[in-house]
Amino acid sequence: MNAPGLFLGTIIAICCGLVFHLLRGGRLPRLALYLVTSWVSFFTGNLVGVWLDWSFLQVGELGLFPALLATVLGLIIASVLAGPEKNAPPRQKRRDSPPEKH
């Protein structure tokens, strides 16, 4: 893989990890987990696509379909294996809400 393909793949993988973190939420360690997972699974998916000779959604030397498929699967698996985030701050009530009636 050449340098522009590596750069484009890294940018796409980072964007996937950031969007997944935006949807799922969490703190900084969870963001780091999603970014590393997306980067590793993106390039693993690309290598598997090259090995299987998949050419669907090919951008230069970068096979986007297998790479994005592996990224989505990797992020979902990482999120499930990481479980719920510990020490999550409790949800606070809004101050401008009317008092509760008993």
In a 13 Å sphere around the CA of 1, the CA atoms on its Cβ side amount to 18
List the chain domain ranges.
3-82
pLDDT at 98 over 80: no
Rounded CA gap, 3 and 56, in Å?
A: 21
At 22-42, the pLDDT tens digits run 998 888 989 999 999 999 999
Q: How far is CA 11 from CA 29, 51, 93, in A?
A: 20, 22, 38
Q: Choose between 90 and 74: higher pLDDT.
A: 74
Rg (CA), the chain: 19
Torsion of CA 35, 37, 43, 47, to 10 degrees: -170
Q: How would residue 92 be classed by pLDDT, with cut points 50, 70 and 90?
A: low
